[in-house]
Structure 1
Amino acid sequence: MKKGLFALILIPFLLFYAFPVGAVEKEERKWQDETIYFLMVDRFNNGDSSNDLDINVQDPLSYHGGDFQGIIDQLDYLKDMGFTAIWMTPIFDNAEKGYHGYWIEDFYQTDEHFGSIETFKKLVKEAHKRDIKIILDFVANHVAPSHPWVTEQSREAWFHENKGIVNWENQQELENGWIYGLPDLAQENQEVEKYLLDAAAWWITETDIDGYRLDTVKHVPVSFWEKFSEKVKETKDDFYLLGEVWSNDPNYIAQYDQAGLDGFVDYPLQEHLRTAFAKPDQTLNWLFSNWERNKKIYEEPYLMGTFLDNHDTVRFTQDIVQNRQNPGTRWKLALTYLYTTPGIPIVYYGSEIALNGGKDPDNRRQMSFQTDKELIDYITKIGELRRTLPSLTRGTMELLYEEKGMAVYKRVYEDEVAVIAVNNTSGTQHVTLTSKELEAGKELRGLLANDLVPSKDGKYKIVIDREEAEIYVLAEKSGINVSYFIMMGIVYGLFFLFIFLVWKKSRKKRT
Structure 2
Amino acid sequence: MKNYFILASALALFISCKDNKQETSIKETSATIEKVEDSIAPFQDEMMDNAVIYEANIRQYSPEGSFKAFTKDIPKLKEMGVKILWVMPIYPISQVKKKSADGKFAEDIEDPKKREKILGSYYAISDYTEVNPEFGTKEDFRELVKTAHENDIYVILDWVPNHTGWDHVWIKEHPDYYTQNEKGEIIDPINPETGEAWGWDDVADLNYDNQEMRKEMIADMLYWVKDENIDGFRCDVASNVPTDFWEQAIPQLRAQKNLFMLAEAWQPELMDNNLFDMVYGWDFHHEMNKIAQGELTAEAWEEKVKEIQDKYKEEHILMNFTSNHDENSWNGTVKERLKGGVETFAALAFTAPGMPLIYSGQEYDLNKRLRFFEKDTISKESRHMFSVYKKLGKLKNEDVALSGGENPASYEPLQTSSPKQVIAFKRKKGEESIIYIANVTDKEVEVSLNLDGDFQDYMNKNQTFTIKKNQKIKMLPWEYHILK
Q: TM-score under structure 2 normalisation?
A: 0.76
Aligned residue number for residue 407 of structure 1: 423
For CA contacts below 8 A with separation 6 or more, give which structure has more relative contact order: 2
Structure 2 counterparts to residues 99-138 of structure 1, below 5 A: 100-138=121-159
Query: Structure 1 residue 229 and structure 2 residue 241: aligned?
Result: no
Aligned residue number for residue 60 of structure 2: 43
Task: Measure, in 2, the Cα distance between the counterparts of 1:364 and 1:276.
Answer: 33
Structure 2 unaligned spans of 5+:
1-43, 96-117, 181-185
Q: Letter of the 1:70 partner, please give it.
A: A
Deviations 1:35-82 (A, max 9, x none): 111121111125xxxxxxxxxxxxxxxxxx411111111112222233
Task: Measure, in 1, the Cα distance between the counterparts of 2:278 and 2:325.
Answer: 19
Q: 2:260 aligns with which of 240, 257, 261?
A: 240
Distance 1:465 1:362, change over 3 A: farther
Structure 2 counterparts to residues 97-496 of structure 1, below 5 A: 100-152=121-173, 155-161=174-180, 162-164=186-188, 169-170=193-194, 173=195, 179-237=200-258, 239-245=259-265, 253-258=267-272, 260-278=275-293, 283-299=297-313, 302-314=316-328, 318=333, 320-321=335-336, 325=339, 329-358=340-369, 361=372, 365-369=376-380, 371-394=381-404, 395-401=409-415, 403-425=419-441, 426-434=443-451, 443-449=454-460, 450-454=462-466, 464-473=475-484
Deviations 1:372-407 (A, max 9, x none): 222222221222222221212341111113512212
Deviations 1:170-193 (A, max 9, x none): 4xx48x988424222222322111
Task: Measure, in 2, the Cα distance between the counterparts of 1:287 and 1:203.
Answer: 40
Q: Letter of the 2:177 partner, please give it.
A: W
Shift of 1:167: 5.9
Identity of matched residues, %: 23
Q: CA RMSD in A?
A: 2.9
Q: Letter of the 2:382 partner, please give it.
A: D
Corresponding residue SS for 1:226: helix
Aligned residue number for residue 75 of structure 2: 76
Aligned residue number for residue 33 of structure 1: 50
Structure 1 unaligned spans of 5+:
1-26, 47-64, 435-439, 474-511
Corresponding residue SS for 1:108: coil
**How many residue pairs align between the two structures?**
404
Deviations 1:300-349 (A, max 9, x none): 655211112222224676463488x4xxx421101010010111111211
Whether contact under 8 Å (1:42, 1:100) holds in the other structure is no
Whether contact under 8 Å (2:119, 2:375) holds in the other structure is no
Whether contact under 8 Å (2:92, 2:127) holds in the other structure is yes
Task: Measure, in 1, the Cα distance between the counterparts of 2:426 and 2:279.
Answer: 24
Deviations 1:264-297 (A, max 9, x none): 1122221111122346x95233333333222332
Whether contact under 8 Å (1:314, 1:360) holds in the other structure is no
Q: Letter of the 1:276 partner, please give it.
A: I
Task: Measure, in 2, the Cα distance between the counterparts of 1:287 and 1:88.
Answer: 31
Task: Measure, in 1, the Cα distance between the counterparts of 2:58 and 2:337.
Answer: 28
Whether contact under 8 Å (2:298, 2:422) holds in the other structure is yes
Task: Measure, in 1, the Cα distance between the counterparts of 2:472 and 2:307.
Answer: 30
Deviations 1:148-179 (A, max 9, x none): 22122xx1211110345676524xx48x9884
Task: Measure, in 1, the Cα distance between the counterparts of 2:160 and 2:249.
Answer: 12
Distance 1:460 1:136, change over 3 A: farther
Q: TM-score under structure 1 normalisation?
A: 0.72
Shift of 1:209: 1.7
Corresponding residue SS for 2:427: strand
Q: Letter of the 2:379 partner, please give it.
A: S
Distance 1:418 1:188, change over 3 A: same
Whether contact under 8 Å (1:212, 1:241) holds in the other structure is yes
Q: Letter of the 1:145 partner, please give it.
A: W
